[in-house]
Chains A and B, each alone.
Chain A
């Protein structure tokens, strides 16, 4: 299997006034095509910083980062925006759907920034919604959907560009147990289809759905354990 994501000696230092905070201290991490990886760690561990770097929302202070073959550690803002658009599908804890747009209009949003033709956008958005089982809710606004359904719309939005990686940041943090099971089931399903999924969470039982668990502690990878399930 080829590596989708390769981090080597990644460190990140924040300068807050006179104090320098080292959020990451030399992280090495490789994630292969089709893997389902969970990144866990307590708050303050550097987990969020790692997620921002993985998501190309922030750049590391030192180290190299290859995503889908491209070196993304030193790109400018415009190029990073393009990388996010093409290679990463985000799923957030807060869903982050635009309340004034219908489900399919939310899903097509990433395609708007690639300049995709309008008809193609609609087709691809509807097919992504069908993959998450919400084809019949395409014209509903987020306010008319349950929490679990909203998160599924968000997952459809993450799928629509066919990204190299789906990056889910605490996707079940705002959901009840039924919806949690629903969303995790969907992630399992997508993994089974061969998609690369990186899941960031602080809940152990959620993390255990993954093939591999990466523990972050004090800005470093502490242990990498392979979950009990089939690898």
Chain B
């Protein structure tokens, strides 16, 4: 029997028993849709995290106080100590000591309440250097960013994040007006451009003052020169690892340490932050994927069930085909192809429904779904595979039927 005839016979059988075929396909369809959407949601979450990390700026290293990250990703005393100072940042910024570093910005942050008349708003007060805007790839929409003169004079000026500005100044341009922190009046000199795609509110809700203003006039305290992070921008993507080495060596030297194991700071790359952030999503994806695979398995058992019913119901047809000269292997192949046709159709429809879901879901739940062609093709292949695997037993049963018994049954 030729393959073309086998496939034709199988599709005819599928079309003849429409309702039964549709119900069988449904099981596979749901499983495949679940797989497609799970993978799509996983990819979407990953892309979201990547975008957030990229919002930090490009070719960036983030130096934090505290000991380094161990192999399992647990940070010892992260940010709890104040081992980094503004002097560290200045040392890294020296182009002779660290030629692959383009710019450095140290930041010190604290959560504070700013007031404008009766309005008050809690935001993150950030003391930093003028290089921050370059390092973090941010711009101002109105006014200007802090400059060296502000830094030298410890000027009472502030640049507001777009959200902070709109909370404190419901009407009019905030530039030129004043906000008050803890009795000190700060002149608003600029408003940052909004990061539209950002889900990280900290990127749009913050208040930036010169580092000198922050440490000398506003917050001060014991660790006057200590900073909470140092952002280091490499000259290019290619020099990122060189910049990493230079920063690491400089800091170890400055802190009087000989072994990297004793480091009282940690340097994170965007890639390492991304890996840490996506590991949670990955667990979720694996879990959802597991559920999807189980639903596919149930779909496969459905195929086997229906195929067994089909064999019993068509016992006379099998007997007749055998009497007319069908070898057992022709019969087996016919039922296997029938099962894989069901699997294929269920798979294609499942991918179709997955695509519909990927279009509809973001509108309903505000989550991002990114479909992958590879995953879709793999899902269809998987659906055919399920048809074949779960079709083997019913097909062998059909093939083993004795023709006289099959013909005799009423």
Contacts and interface: CB of A to CB of B under 8 A. Distances in A.
Nearest to B13: A100
B256 interface: no
B1 A81 contact: no
Interface string B123-136: 00000000000000
Interface residues of B, number: 26
Interface in B389-410: 402-404, 407
Nearest to A169: B407
Contacts of A96: 316, 319-320, 323, 407
A84 B317 contact: no
A29 interface: no
Nearest to A157: B324
B328 A77 contact: yes
Main secondary structure of the interface of B (DSSP, over half): helix
B16 A113 contact: no
Nearest to B12: A100
Contact of A92 (B9, B16, B327, B407): B407
B19 to A, nearest CB: 14
A84 B317 CA distance: 16
Nearest to A115: B2
A112 B8 CA distance: 11
Contacts of B407: 57, 92, 96
B1 A52 contact: no
Contacts of A114: 325
Interface in B288-328: 316-317, 319-328
Given A96-B316, A101-B12, A115-B1, A85 B403 contact: no
A86 interface: yes
Contacts of B2: 112, 115
B69 interface: no
A52 B12 CA distance: 30
A98 B317 contact: yes
A77 B327 CA distance: 7
Interface string A91-107: 01010101011000000
B325 A52 contact: no
Interface in A127-147: none
A218 interface: no
Given A58-B404, A96-B316, A96-B407, A110 B12 contact: no
A161 B330 CA distance: 18
A113 to B, nearest CB: 4
Interface string B178-202: 0000000000000000000000000
Shortest 4 CB-CB contacts between residues of A and residues of B: A85-B325, A113-B325, A100-B16, A110-B324
Interface of B: 1-2, 4-5, 9, 12-13, 16, 316-317, 319-330, 402-404, 407
Interface of A: 52, 55, 57-58, 77-78, 81-82, 84-86, 90, 92, 94, 96, 98, 100-101, 109-110, 112-115, 118, 157, 161
28 contacts: A57-B323, A58-B404, A77-B327, A78-B327, A81-B327, A81-B328, A84-B322, A84-B325, A85-B324, A85-B325, A90-B324, A92-B320, A96-B319, A96-B320, A96-B323, A96-B407, A98-B317, A100-B12, A100-B16, A101-B12, A109-B321, A112-B9, A113-B324, A113-B325, A113-B326, A115-B1, A115-B2, A157-B324
Given A94-B316, A98-B317, 17 more contacts: A55-B323, A57-B404, A58-B404, A78-B329, A81-B326, A84-B323, A84-B324, A86-B325, A96-B407, A100-B12, A101-B12, A112-B1, A112-B2, A113-B324, A113-B325, A115-B1, A118-B5
